Amino acid sequence: MNRQNYRAAFDAVDFSPDFEERTLQKLAAMRHASEKEQNKMSMNRTKKITLLAAAAVALLAVTVSAAVLWLTPAQVAEELNDPMLAEAFQSEAAVILNETQTVGDYTVTLMGMVSGANISQWCADVQESRTYAVVSVVRTDGTPLTEENYDVVPCGAFTVTPLVSGYDPRAVNVFTLNGACSSFLRDGRAYYVLDTQSLEIFSDHTVYLALYEGFAAPSYERFSLAEDGTVDLRDNVTGCMFTLPLDTHTADPDAARAFVESTGIPWEPMTDAQLAVQEAHEDLEVEKSADGVGNQTFLIQEAN
């Protein structure tokens, strides 16, 4: 159909007298509905933006709060007036971990570690490499730790020590490694900084950081060793163990052997089965000694 024929057909349509008025009313109603829908969409968008903004503010508040309440390893070192160690914890050599475990009523976090020589002002005159680890402890239920409800002194509420798989726990620990531990309370949380001779020489073994209740040197009473040398806490001991991520290329088996031999403590690991055999042998020797003393006493009495 061409334009002229279309116009002729359109003119031939018989429209009702009120067609124009009804058409205008229809168009006005459609425009009103469209404006209402746009306003609704705008309000929903405004509400959505408001909710997102509120969520962002809440997240920022939580983040800022956490940043205030939870120090970084570098800040922990600064609290101990050790700017050299703080700088070391901000270097590429530092490993930030923030691994968490539950110990009784507490949540324990291994925050980070760093190894190196001359990286602490407290050991600035010592050229040997040392390892530093930062641990934090907080009540799991959120109750702030204070001097009244928590013994924050090193080896007070908890003992913190390294251990190495394949070695007797009595031979390699914080005490034999010429270690020290500093601690303090801040904003309801306890912080510990462990300082020992470098653990890197043992990096061809699994190296642990253990934390357990009370003060006592590591022993077979608190730890057990599997046949493969793996160290674990005994079931009746409240504590936890972290695995330290050391670079295996830093291992020095000769230095490790020289160290354990220098302690003068038997360092070869023993399983529970081996300990039982050793204990039975020792009991037998005690019985023999007692029998010998008894026989000598009997002979003396007979002689008299």
∠ CA(74), CA(156), CA(209), 5° rounding? 55
Domain that holds residue 28: 17-69
- The reply to whether 134 and 79 lie within a common domain is yes
Same domain, 191 and 254: yes
Same-domain check for residues 161 and 191: yes
Structure pTM? 0.73
In a domain, 96, yes or no: yes
**What is the reported pLDDT for 281?**
83
Q: Which of 35, 69, 103 is the last residue of a domain?
A: 69
Q: Is 301 within a domain?
A: no
105 and 60 in one domain?
A: no
pLDDT at residue 52, as a whole number: 47
166 and 89 in a single domain? The answer is yes
Residue 54 counted as domain residue: yes
In a domain, 237, yes or no: yes
In a domain, 48, yes or no: yes
Please compute, for residue 65, the number of CA atoms within 13 A of its CA located in the half-sphere on the CB side.
7
Whether 207 maps to a domain, the answer reads yes
Residues 76 and 189 in one domain: yes
d(CA 161, CA 155): 10
Same domain, 105 and 254: yes
3-state secondary structure of 277: helix
Whether 294 is in a domain gets the answer no
- Domain identity same for 149 and 268: yes
Q: Are residues 183 and 102 in the same domain?
A: yes
60 and 103 housed in the same domain? no
In angstroms, rounded to a whole number, what is the distance separating the alpha carbons of residues 180 and 170? 16
Q: Does some domain include residue 189?
A: yes
Query: For the chain, what is the domain count?
Result: 2
Same structural domain for residues 143 and 80? Answer: yes
Q: Residue for token digits 């239920």?
A: 141
129-139 and 189-197: which strand pairing? Answer: antiparallel
Predicted confidence pLDDT, tens digits, the chain (304 residues): 544 554 455 455 555 656 556 655 765 676 666 666 565 555 555 555 454 445 444 444 444 444 446 899 999 999 999 999 999 999 999 999 999 999 999 999 999 999 999 999 887 666 789 999 999 999 999 999 999 999 999 878 999 999 999 999 999 999 999 999 999 999 999 999 999 999 999 999 999 999 999 999 999 999 999 999 999 999 999 999 999 999 999 999 999 999 999 999 999 999 999 999 998 988 787 877 776 655 665 555 555 5
158 and 254 in a single domain? The answer is yes
On whether the CB atoms of residues 229 and 269 are closer than 8 A, the answer is yes
